[in-house]
Amino acid sequence: MAGILGVGSGIDISSIVKALVDAERAPKTAQLDRLEKKSTSTLSAVGTLRSSLSEFQTSLTALNKPSLYSTRTASLSASGNLSVAASETAASGSYALQVKQLAVGSKIGLRSFVEPVQVQGGPAVTPVSFTAGSLTLYAGDPLDANSKKLELNIDSTNNTQAGIRDAINAKTATSGFSAGLVTDASGTRLVISSSNSGDGKDVRVISAETAPAAGGSTSLTALEFAAPNVAVAPSSITGAAGVITQAKSAIVSVDGLQVTRESNVIDGVVDGVKLTLTSAQSQADIDAGKTIALTVGQDKAGVKSSLQKFVDAYNKLFNTTAQLTSVVQVGEGKAPVTGPLLGDATVRGLQSGIRSEMSTLQSGEGIRALADLGITSQKDGTLKLDATKLDAALNTNFDKVAGYLSGDKGLIGRLGSLVEGYTRSAGVLDQRQKGLQSTISGIDKQRTALDLRIAKVQERLVNQYTAMDTLVARLKKTSENLTSQLASLPGLVKKSN
C-alpha cells in the first residue's frame, strides 16, 4: 500500500490509513481482551474450586458409608502363630487362644529302586520300568467315599518312576497330590505329598496290574503303600517305604475349649472371626498356659481416620475459597489485587450452605454437634480435631457417632447432598464452566467478525484515499500544464533569477 498511495499528493497515506484502522480496532479489541482475561481467570478459578470441592465430597462419601460403622476389627496380643479377620457379624469381646498343632498333609517315601547310572560317553541305559496297570493314590481310607483320590493309568509311556512322577504332578491342581524323586544310599524312590490335611488323611497307594511282569519289568505292586498304625520313616539302608510326615488336624484352644479342624483356616469357632493358623506354639508355652489374646471390637480407628480426612478436606476447601475471593492491598494509592471469584454468588451460596449444615444441632441425646466429636472452628475459620475428645466419644457413644454422621439425615449425608448439587454433571459448577467456555468461544467469534469489519474499513479508506490521491495528481498535472502554457504566451516577461 505504501508503494501505491501518496504518489500524487506526496502525503503518507499508508500511515494515515493505519492510524485510522488502529483507532477503529482498539476499543473493541480492548473490550474483548478484558472479557477474555476475566472469563479465562474465572473459568480457571471455578475449576480449582470444583477440584477442591470434589476432594471434600470424597471425604464425605467415605464417612457416609454404612460399612465404616459396621466394620469390626480383630487384633492379637502377639503375632507369629496366627492371623485373624473379623466380619461385620463379629461380636465385640476378648478371647484367650492357644495354637497347639497345625493341620498338615501326609508325605510318604515309596520303596527305592537302584536305577542304572548313565556313564558319560557310554551307551544309553534303561531305567527301572513297571508292569502295565493302574495306580491309585488316596488321601485317607480307600473305603471312605469322601477320601481324595487320584487314579493313574500306567503304560509304556509312563511306566518309570520319572514317568509316574510327571503323571502325578500333571494333576496336582485338582488332586492335591504332588511327587518328586529322592536318591539316597539305597537307591531312588518316589516321594509323594498330599495337601489334603487332617487326621487319618494319610497317603495310601494301591495298584492293579493288567499284565504280569515280563522283559525285566518290575511288578507294579512294588509301589503299593498302606498307612501303618505306627509311622515308620523310609529306610536308607534297606530301601523300605515309610512315612515322612503323618497327616494331622489343627488343634486350637479358645478360652480353654479345644477345637479340632482339618484345615488351618478356621471359621465359626469365634462368631464372625476367621482364624488362619501359621505356626504352633512351643510345647513349653502351652504347658505354661501362655495364651494369645484376641480382641474383637468396632473399627474406631477407621472412623477416626475418616474424620481427620474430612477435617483436612474442609480446611483445604476453606483455604481455596479464601484465596479465590481474597482482597490484597498492594500499597497506598494503588488498587488492591482481588481474587477471581471475589463477590461471586456461587461461592457465597456454597459457603453459606456448608456453614448452615455444620452449625445445625441434631435432636436427641448423645452426639448433637461436631464439637461433641472434638471438631471445632479456629479463629481463621478452619477446623481442628481434638483426638482425645474424639476417642472419648468413640469409646462411649460409638452408635451415636454413627447416627449423627451417617444416613440421609445425618450431617455427612446432608453435606453430601448439598455438595452434589454443585459437583454433579449439569450441576451448578458444571453449568458455570459451560457458560464461561461459551463466552470464551464467543470472544473468538467476535474477534473473527472484528477482523472482517476492520478489513472492510481498511479497504474503504484505501479506496477513498486512492481516489483523493488520483485527483490531487490530476490537479497537479493540470497546474503544471497551465503554468507551461502561460509561460509560452507572447509578451510574458519572465523574472530573472
Q: Are residues 175 and 257 in the same domain?
A: no
Q: Give the E-state strand segments of 222-309 in sequence order.
A: 242-245, 250-254, 257-261, 265-267, 273-277, 292-298
Q: Is residue 494 part of a domain?
A: no
Considering its fold, how many domains does the chain have in total? 3
Residue 483 lies in a domain: no
133 and 261 assigned to the same domain = no
Residue 494: band (very low, low, confident or very high) from pLDDT cuts 50, 70, 90:
low
pLDDT at 473: 73
**pLDDT average, residue stretch 153-166:** 95
Give the model's pLDDT for residue 2. 43
What pLDDT, on the 0 to 100 scale, is given for residue 276?
A: 97
| Cα 142 to Cα 226, 344, 359, 461, distances in angstroms | 10, 82, 73, 111
Domain end point (choices 183, 216, 245): 245
Task: Map grid coordinates 539302608 to a residue.
Answer: 237
Residue 80 placed within a domain: yes
For residues 319 and 439, membership in a common domain is answered with: yes
Burial class (CB in 10 A: 0-12, 13-18, 19+), 243: buried
443 shares its domain with 309: yes
Which of the residue ranges 1-10, 121-130, 406-415, 443-452 would you say has the lowest mean pLDDT?
A: 1-10
Spatial separation of the C-alpha atoms in residues 160 and 186, rounded to whole Å: 17
Q: Clarify whether residues 415 and 466 are in a common domain.
A: yes
Same domain, 318 and 452: yes
Kindly indicate the confidence band of residue 8, based on its pLDDT and cuts at 50, 70 and 90: low
Instruction: Note whether residue 239 is domain-resident.
Output: yes
The confidence score (pLDDT) of residue 478 equals 81
Task: For residue 291, give the DSSP letter.
Answer: -
pTM, whole model, 2 decimals?
Answer: 0.66
Q: Domain span at residue 259?
A: 72-103+249-298
Amino acid identity at 52:
S
> Measured between alpha carbons, how far is 249 from 197 in angstroms, rounded to an integer?
6
Sign of CA dihedral 467, 473, 477, 479: positive
Regarding whether 413 and 367 lie in a shared domain, the answer is: yes
Q: Collect contacts of 423-430 with beta carbons under 8 A, ≥24 apart.
A: 423/50, 423/53, 423/54, 423/57, 428/346, 428/349, 429/46, 429/49, 429/50, 429/53, 429/346
In a domain, 475, yes or no: no
**Strand order in 242-245's β-sheet?**
177-184, 187-197, 105-109, 242-245
Q: Does residue 6 register a pLDDT over 60?
A: no
Which amino acid does the sequence have at 126? Answer: T
The answer to whether residues 304 and 410 belong to one domain is yes
- Pair (172, 51) in one structural domain: no
Query: Does residue 481 fall inside a structural domain?
Result: no
- C-alpha to C-alpha distances, 334 to 182, 324, 337, 343, nearest whole angstrom: 92, 20, 9, 20
Mean pLDDT of the chain: 89
Q: Is the pLDDT of residue 3 over 60?
A: no
Co-location of 110 and 240 in the same domain: yes
Note whether 28 and 89 are same-domain residues. no
Name the band, by pLDDT with cuts 50, 70 and 90, for residue 1. Answer: very low
Whether residue 375 contacts residue 307, with contact meaning beta carbons closer than 8 Å, is answered with yes
**What's the CA gap between 32 and 444, in Å, rounded?**
9
Bigger pLDDT: 328 or 241? Answer: 241
Using an 8 Å Cβ cutoff, are 450 and 29 in contact? Answer: yes
What is the CA angle 294-295-301, rounded to 5? Answer: 135
Main-chain dihedrals φ then ψ at residue 273, nearest 5 degrees:
-120, 135
- Residue 478 lies inside a defined structural domain of this protein: no
